[in-house]
Structure 1
Amino acid sequence: MRQPVSDSPVGLPPRPGQPRILAVANQKGGVGKTTTAINLGTALAAVNESVLIIDLDPQGNASTGLGIQRRTHQKSTYHVLMGEAELGDVVVESGIPRLHCAPSTMDLLGAELELASIDRKTYRLADAITALCKRALPNRTYSYILVDCPPSLNLLTINALSAADAILVPLQCEFFALEGLSQLIKTVDRVKTSLNPRLTIQGVVLTMFDRRNNLSEQVAEDVRSVLGDKVYQTVIPRNVRISEAPSHGKPVLLYDNACVGSQAYIRLASEIIRRERDLRAA
């Protein structure tokens, strides 16, 4: 039997008039992190929330998954972190009402080395979001900011965790899921202690869940036994439509709104909104 990992506190209530900043992160790749970011953002926008997705992954899959094409001289989150552009100036419309994106470019591959010698290197994103909120540009007022992190613990991810109110963890239903989750929780605890006392875990969402597979059921049971109600009731199933949607530059909710994957993300958005309302009422 695996040893339980420590849980984080419930968290602080949202700051009045400020967007709720959620870092979508997992140190392991291939867990549905980017898929969760773009489809959750779309689902939130569909219920009249205004959403900004910040793409901090050099692969830029969140950007292309929203149909935003890479351009050679496009300003991106790299330029924001380097202080060469303000966040509001790189944000682009996604084509989905109430959903915007700050795109990524391959320049982010070298960002960690360049950030190492810059002042407030772990707070570059936090400072940029603060400046964005102060500018109050038309159509740039957000209720949620989702930060899509790279699948590693580097300065890009640390910037996201330093800026975030909470972390949302996509967790693939596989054998080593709890080991990776334990490492991530330790990272959250370290960031909370040294960089961002507000940071907590908003929730863990089980992805690539296959009800025909006994392993998926066992992993779900193990994770819930360790983290309890930190794990969302909604699970994201293995679904071919979810896999197909990025090649069309669309979230699955636009590609096939009726499929089981789309419906799962709609339920997840509702569950997150309920949790946020409970925090406000606390």
Structure 2
Amino acid sequence: MKRVVFNRKGGVGKSTIVCNLAAVAAASGKSVLVVDLDPQANTTAYLGHSGKDNVVGIAEFMESTISRNYREFTSEDYIRKTRFENLSLISASYALVELESKLEAKHKIYKLRDFLNNLHEEFDEIYIDTPPALNFFTLSALIAADRCILPYDCDVFAREAMLDLTEELEEIIEDHNDNLLIEGVVVNQFQARAKLPQQAVAQLAKDKFKLLKPFISASVKVKESHAECMPLIYLSPKHKVTQEFVELYKSLSRKPRRKQ
């Protein structure tokens, strides 16, 4: 299973969702890989590493496909163990920014898919974080993945963007990856007692989006987990938001049905 978390809007919690779902999976005994494709490297930092470390990561893999020396490397050259059991990482760095135009010019859009497909015996689940843009790296992730979830932060301006996003994903599925299942929308930073988030979610439901349950509540505990570079299942396993991620993971782990 290869799951990508994607939204063109920044600040919706992509990295938080990727890391916490991956951590829940790892804590349950699954062998899990996280792939960070965002040059900001927030996911890399959340899992206790730095995008400035002098290590081989996703940028180096992408660069190797241009220089055609990727056959000299094995997957172990790019994969780093984290301090969390069963959880590995392919880190991001700002070097991705400089590579994008070169990769597009060389038509390397399918290389990530081919690389990750070779890891199916090594990892039970792969989670991919993406930049807040539909660029080369995001498209590579959507081609490589077989499942996709869409974070939504109840922002008043986000609805139209979600509708546009759905159309873009349908086109990508038709043109590049007909195995990609859109699992639904993860409502993030939800405030149950506030009127505006309730209205925003109700409107999404009217628009026929599949809203995944439970919603992820807004909580300072999430920011604390960022500061500690420790996903919630390790930092505070009994906290309300932690349990929401646990239940969300369980709901996603049920046999998917191919409809939104």
Aligned-pair identity in percent equals 28
**Over aligned residues, Cα RMSD in angstroms?**
1.7
After the TM superposition, which segments of 4 or more aligned residues of structure 1 sit over 4 Å from their partners? none
Aligned residues of 1:78 and 1:111 also touching (Cα < 8 A): yes
For the structure 1 residues 113 and 86, does the alpha-carbon distance in structure 2 shift closer, same or farther, using more than 3 Å as the test? farther
- State the secondary structure of the residue aligned to 2:237: coil
Question: Which is further off, 34-43 or 64-73?
Answer: 64-73
Match of 1:32 in 2: 13
Which aligned pairs between 1:83-232 and structure 2 lie closer than 5 A? Answer: 83=65, 84=70, 85-119=73-107, 121-133=108-120, 136=121, 141-228=122-209, 230-232=210-212
Give TM-score scaled by structure 1 length: 0.84
Post-superposition Cα deviations, 1:75-118, rounded to whole Å, max 9, x if no partner, equal: 11011122255443211111211111111111111121120222
Residue 6 of structure 1 corresponds to which residue in structure 2? none
3-state SS, counterpart of residue 237 of structure 1: coil
Q: Does residue 238 of structure 2 align to residue 258 of structure 1?
A: yes
Q: Which runs of 5+ in 2 are unaligned?
A: none
Question: What's the counterpart of residue 68 of structure 1?
Answer: 49
Asked if 1:272 is matched to 2:252, the reply is yes
Deviation at 1:278, TM superposition (A): 4.6
Distance 1:45 1:80, change over 3 A: same
Q: Which amino acid aligns with 1:63?
A: T
Q: Does the aligned pair in 2 maintain the 1:59–1:106 contact within 8 Å?
A: yes
Distance 1:129 1:215 in 2: 40
Choose from 221, 233, 238 the match for 1:241: 221
Cα pair 1:23 1:167 within 8 Å, conserved? yes
Could you tell me whether the CA contact under 8 Å between 2:21 and 2:249 is conserved in 1? yes
> Does structure 2 retain, via aligned residues, the 8 Å contact 1:80–1:86?
no
Q: Is the 8 A contact 2:152 2:187 kept in 1?
A: yes
Distance in 1 (CA, whole Å) between partners of 2:203 and 2:106 is 42
Gaps of 5+ in 1: 1-19
